[in-house]
């Protein structure tokens, strides 16, 4: 995969629970780029993340999301995932009895238009799971467990990044990937994402209200989201500025 | 004795009023030397393949013992029929009973008796298969009624696992009324799996009576898959101080099936714990009833008792009732119950979809996982393969796997 992919969000409006939350967001992310969306609690960050992925109950009321020209608005979440979008959830949930490798196998199963490849065999998936686990310090014993069952909050977050590494999508949305992680874990996770931007040209939209993620993850663009709108955009210096001044200015 | 009625609390929501005993007659005993029913032989062979490590295998025809095979089992362990056992073998832990238990008392042709002496450890499971005949398709007259009876006693400090399978032909009407007694003596470990895979036109009304004495550990897992009406009632008495009881049940309804699970966690001694988990799914027009009671008797201090019932409702025409009850006569106890009834969790499905798993497949994985979660914790580890297979076959039907292309 090359860094020739584009995720373009234009004039996005979305509501959750019948309430308008995202009120006109524009983003243009190219493969290999890291865009960080920062904002205070309640600014609409999570709703933006779920609107991009297509969560039932989060309704896009206007605008468009195009991945390499393909309109994602109106198509179900699994098709968006197949088109190349990955969402790392803020609170990954338990799915009892469903093994991680089984889900990865389903996620990588050809849908008819794709050729099966070596990475998609059970052995290939196993191999990737082990490599990714080692890369982020995810205990290999957890690979045999049902999805997130009996995992701590921090292990669940690592599990999301692990799956990202196995699936290798062109784009990912990280919803507060740094919350609930200790400093070492933030570093490990951020390093893995950083290296993925070069390894396969991963494009990143990281939603967060912490700055610490940015100590390792190199942001190309920083956007400030307040009340559902991007009120400022800039380079990494904008995050530094926010660390000192907070969001009060917006 | 009159048949029960759905006016009684323990039969509430059940179709018991529709039971017409005149439509059934006890199966005739198989004359000695008769070659075994090929269907039954094939079924037993399949069970043997899925449970390659067995301490003994017992087969019955409608409860009449037809074969006992020991696979290197210690001679001191009794596995046989009523004639091999002493007086008073039956009824040790089953005090009284309703009209259906009385029917079994009156009509059971024999009993499978498993008696593990004090201190003996039986590592591999003892497998019992009750083959229960059904009326041939289109046949007239009374349909067969079977009354299997099984008694398991694990002596002091001994341990053993038993897998009891109730099965029959895939077609035809029948009535099957099994009674199983499980007795764990002081410090014993008794593990039991009951699997019911009768045909879809069979009424199955089962009773398990269990008792655990001082410091004993008793674990049961009953799985109801077949039958038109499938009822299993498990009464477990914590009779001795320090005993531990774990009750697990699973059911899966398809078509017009009714699954009816009743449990009693009866704490009659101090420092006893019981933990119940019952998981079921209903598809098509099937329905299920779970009703469980935790009873803490006066004097059963420091009792800990838990009860959880989770139901998945897979189709709009299906229905599940869940009725947990507590009856607590003592103060210093810790008891809780919880139940859920609903469709596949939307967040779980979205989570899998966000990985690129199509919705139908996500739902299948979640429902398979719902059962896998309880199957893999079977008290008899050797039974897992068979349980997975039997549940898997019926889930394929319930979830329409393989039929049509779906959206994928």
Confidence of residue B359 (pLDDT cuts 50, 70, 90): very high
Nearest to B355 among A56, A107, A111 (CB): A107
**Confidence at residue B141, expressed as pLDDT on a 0 to 100 scale:** 83
- Tens of pLDDT, residues B222-232: 999 999 999 99
Lowest mean pLDDT of A84-93, B2-11, B256-265, name the range: B2-11
Does residue B378 belong to any structural domain of this protein? no
**Confidence at residue B139, expressed as pLDDT on a 0 to 100 scale:** 62
d(CA B391, CA B371): 8
Task: Give the dihedral of Cα atoms B130, B131, B135, B137; nearest 10 deg.
Answer: 140
From the CA of B171, how many Å to the nearest CA of chain A? 32
Q: What mean pLDDT do residues B177-189 have? A: 98
**Confidence at residue A213, expressed as pLDDT on a 0 to 100 scale:** 83
CB contact under 8 A, A93 and B347: yes
Does residue B284 belong to any structural domain of this protein? yes
Does residue B369 belong to any structural domain of this protein? no
Does residue B23 belong to any structural domain of this protein? no
At the second CATH level, the architecture of A6-95+169-245 is: 3-Layer(aba) Sandwich (3.40)
- Tens of pLDDT, residues A58-95: 999 999 999 999 999 999 999 999 999 999 999 999 99
- Tens of pLDDT, residues B14-33: 999 999 999 999 998 777 77
Is A120's pLDDT higher than 80?
no
Is B4's pLDDT higher than 50?
yes
B270: left (phi over 0), alpha (psi -120 to 50) or beta: beta
Does residue B263 belong to any structural domain of this protein? yes
- What backbone phi and psi angles, to 5 degrees, belong to A211? -100, -15
Residue of higher predicted confidence among B86 and A232 = A232
**Confidence at residue A221, expressed as pLDDT on a 0 to 100 scale:** 96
**Confidence at residue A9, expressed as pLDDT on a 0 to 100 scale:** 98
- Tens of pLDDT, residues A135-188: 998 999 999 899 999 999 889 999 999 999 999 999 999 999 988 888 888 899
Q: Rounded to the nearest 10 degrees, what angle do helices B346-353 and B359-375 cross at? A: 120
Domain of B131 in residue numbering reads as 38-344
User: Is A17 touching B (CB cutoff 8 A)?
Assistant: no
DSSP structure string for B339-382 = EEEESS-HHHHHHHHTTT--HHHHHHHHHHHHHHHHHTT-SSGG
Interface test with A, best of B248, B354, B401 (most A CBs within 10 A): B354
**Confidence at residue B175, expressed as pLDDT on a 0 to 100 scale:** 98
Nearest to A98 among B346, B356, B366 (CB): B366
Confidence of residue A109 (pLDDT cuts 50, 70, 90): confident
Task: Residue B387: list chain A partners with CB under 8 A.
Answer: none
The answer to whether residues A165 and A191 touch, using CB atoms and an 8 Å cutoff, is: no
A69 to each of A8, A188, B132, how far by Cα in Å?
A: 8, 33, 63
Please list the residues that pair with A6 across neighbouring strands: A30
Does residue B61 belong to any structural domain of this protein? yes
Q: What mean pLDDT do residues B274-285 have? A: 97
Does residue B249 belong to any structural domain of this protein? yes
* Mean predicted lDDT score pLDDT of chain A: 91
* Other CB atoms within 10 A of residue A150 CB: 10
Q: How many domains does chain B have?
A: 1
Query: How is chain A split into domains, by residue range?
Result: 6-95+169-245
Does residue B349 belong to any structural domain of this protein? no
Residue of higher predicted confidence among B136 and B357 = B357
d(CA B212, CA B218): 6
**Confidence at residue B404, expressed as pLDDT on a 0 to 100 scale:** 43
* Closest chain A residue to B372, measured at CA: A97
**Confidence at residue B367, expressed as pLDDT on a 0 to 100 scale:** 96
């Amino acid at each position: 995969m090359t860094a020739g992919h584009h995720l373009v969000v234009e004039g996005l409006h979305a509501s959750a629970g019948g309430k308008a939350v995202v009120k006109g967001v524009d983003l243009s992310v190219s493969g290999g780029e890291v865009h960080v969306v920062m904002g205070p609690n309640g600014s609409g960050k999570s709703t933006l993340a779920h609107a991009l992925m297509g969560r039932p109950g989060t309704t896009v009321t206007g605008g468009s999301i195009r991945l390499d020209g393909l309109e994602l608005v109106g198509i179900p979440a699994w098709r968006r995932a197949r088109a190349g979008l990955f969402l790392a959830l803020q609170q990954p949930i338990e799915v009892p009895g469903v093994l991680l490798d089984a889900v990865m196998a389903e996620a990588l199963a050809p849908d008819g238009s794709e050729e099966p490849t070596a990475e998609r065999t059970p052995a290939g998936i196993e191999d990737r799971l082990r490599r990714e686990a080692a890369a982020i310090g995810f205990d290999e014993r957890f690979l045999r467990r049902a999805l997130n069952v009996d995992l701590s909050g921090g292990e669940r977050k690592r599990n999301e990044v692990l799956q990202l590494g196995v699936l290798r999508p062109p784009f990912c949305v990280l919803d507060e990937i740094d919350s609930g992680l200790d400093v070492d874990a933030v570093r490990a996770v951020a390093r893995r994402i950083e290296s993925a931007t070069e390894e396969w040209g991963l494009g990143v939209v990281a939603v967060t209200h912490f700055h610490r993620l940015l100590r390792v993850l190199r942001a190309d663009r920083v956007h400030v989201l307040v009340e559902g709108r991007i009120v400022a955009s800039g380079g990494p210096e904008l995050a530094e500025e926010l660390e000192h001044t907070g969001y009060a200015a917006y | 004795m009159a048949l029960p009625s759905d006016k009684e609390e323990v039969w509430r929501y059940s179709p018991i009023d529709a039971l017409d005993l005149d439509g059934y007659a006890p199966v005739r005993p198989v004359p000695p030397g008769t070659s075994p029913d090929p269907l039954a032989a094939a079924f037993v062979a399949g069970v043997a393949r899925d449970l390659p490590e067995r301490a003994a295998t017992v087969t019955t025809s409608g409860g009449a013992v037809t074969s006992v095979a020991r696979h290197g089992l210690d001679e001191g362990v009794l596995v046989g029929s009523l004639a091999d056992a002493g007086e008073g073998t039956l009824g040790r832990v089953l005090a009284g009973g309703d009209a259906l238990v009385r029917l079994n008392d009156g009509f059971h042709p024999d009993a499978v008796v498993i008696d593990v002496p004090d201190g003996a450890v039986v590592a591999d499971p003892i497998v019992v298969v009750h083959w229960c005949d059904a009326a041939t398709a289109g046949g007239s007259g009374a349909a067969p009624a079977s009354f299997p009876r099984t008694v398991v006693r694990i002596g002091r400090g001994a341990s053993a696992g038993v897998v009891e399978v109730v099965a029959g032909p895939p077609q035809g009407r029948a009535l099957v009324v099994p009674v199983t007694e499980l007795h764990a003596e002081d410090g014993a470990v008794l593990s039991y799996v009951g699997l019911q895979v009768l045909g879809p036109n069979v009424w199955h009304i089962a009773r398990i009576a269990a008792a655990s004495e001082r410091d004993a550990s008793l674990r049961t897992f009953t799985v109801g898959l077949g039958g038109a009406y499938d009822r299993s009632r498990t009464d477990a008495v914590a009779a001795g101080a320090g005993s531990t009881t774990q009750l697990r049940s699973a059911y899966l309804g398809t078509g017009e099936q009714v699954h009816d699970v009743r449990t009693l966690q009866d704490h009659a001694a101090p420092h006893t714990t019981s933990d119940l988990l019952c998981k079921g799914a209903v598809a098509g027009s099937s329905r299920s009833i779970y009703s469980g009671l935790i009873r803490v008797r006066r004097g059963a201090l420091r009792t800990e008792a838990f009860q959880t019932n989770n139901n998945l409702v897979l189709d709009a025409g299906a229905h599940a009732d869940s009725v947990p009850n507590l009856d607590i006569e003592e103060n210093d106890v810790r008891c809780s119950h919880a139940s859920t009834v609903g469709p596949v969790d939307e967040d779980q499905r979205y989570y899998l979809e966000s990985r690129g798993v199509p919705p139908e497949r996500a739902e299948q994985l979640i429902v398979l996982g719902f059962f896998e979660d309880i199957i893999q914790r079977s008290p008899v580890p050797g039974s897992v393969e068979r349980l997975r297979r039997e549940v898997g076959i019926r889930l394929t039907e319930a979830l329409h796997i393989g039929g049509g292309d779906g959206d994928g």
